[in-house]
Amino acid sequence: MAEDQTSSWLVHCDGSALPNPGRMGLGAVLIAPDGSRHTLSLATHTTGCNNEAELRALIAALHALQAQGARSLVVHSDSSIVIEQLGGVKPAKPITRLKALFDEARSLLATFEQARLQWIPQHRNGEADALARSALGLPPRP
């Protein structure tokens, strides 16, 4: 099991919408098994809510991981909705308006040999949050 963890990419992703709903910023930190770091900080051309921004950040990170040739990954997100919808726990109430994005994320996750999603508290996702906010021209949270 330890070998799986050392050969896995570690991903921290986050999204911001300003106002909510509003412009969306996406941020992700991708850490390769060899320890090299890659970051994403993107603004979308569409508006949406925080949940959509969180999901779009994950999708952008998954596309970047595919381009890097990743096969195994552990995704950390502070979005309980993303983790509930994609992590195997059946949510009490599906989010119909985001169904197409959740389906896209599920399809992308299925292209990896191993993909595990894990919720983390917001204070442990600061770098991804700062990248998402930076894409919108905002400073990091204090």
| 85, 94 Cβ separation under 8 angstroms | yes
| 53, 25 Cβ separation under 8 angstroms | yes
* Fold of domain 2-135: Nucleotidyltransferase; domain 5 (3.30.420)
Q: What is the pLDDT of residues 22-57, one digit of tens each?
A: 999 999 999 999 999 999 999 999 999 999 999 999
| 64, 82 Cβ separation under 8 angstroms | no
| 132, 20 Cβ separation under 8 angstroms | no
Q: What is the pLDDT of residues 74-84, one digit of tens each?
A: 999 999 999 98
DSSP 111: T
- Give the global pTM: 0.93
